[in-house]
Amino acid sequence: MKRGELYLLKSDPSGKPRPILVVSKDVLNKRAVLAIPFYSQQIEKRSAQDWCSLFYSGEGNLEKDCVANASEITLIDKFEINQSRGPIGQFDDAQMKRVLEAVRWVLGIE
């Protein structure tokens, strides 16, 4: 797994397949990855929050409009990620920059 790749969690408490974005450096992605989840509900509200980044359907191969919620950045064991078909998408540098701006806001990094 590499930084910038999108995957689906195997199971999510809501029962929906939840996309996640790998944000940790590749060298650290041995047993677990640092990832940010995406949400497709309450897009208008969430996209106005500094800790969220809005992405439209097709960006990074996402199936629908959604937001990456950097306030929920978390370490996820690779066992919990559906790797059978590989990444579902990939973010380019500009898309990663948008997400990392939200991460910096969450961490208080100027």
pLDDT, averaged across the chain: 93
Domains in the chain: how many in total? Answer: 1
CA angle 87, 75, 99 (to 5 degrees): 65
Domain that holds residue 24: 5-107
In this structure, what CATH number is given to the domain that contains residue 71?
A: 2.30.30.110
Please give the share of the chain, as a percent, with pLDDT higher than 90.
86
pTM: 0.91
Dump pLDDT digits (tens) for 56-95.
999 999 999 999 999 999 999 999 999 998 999 999 999 9
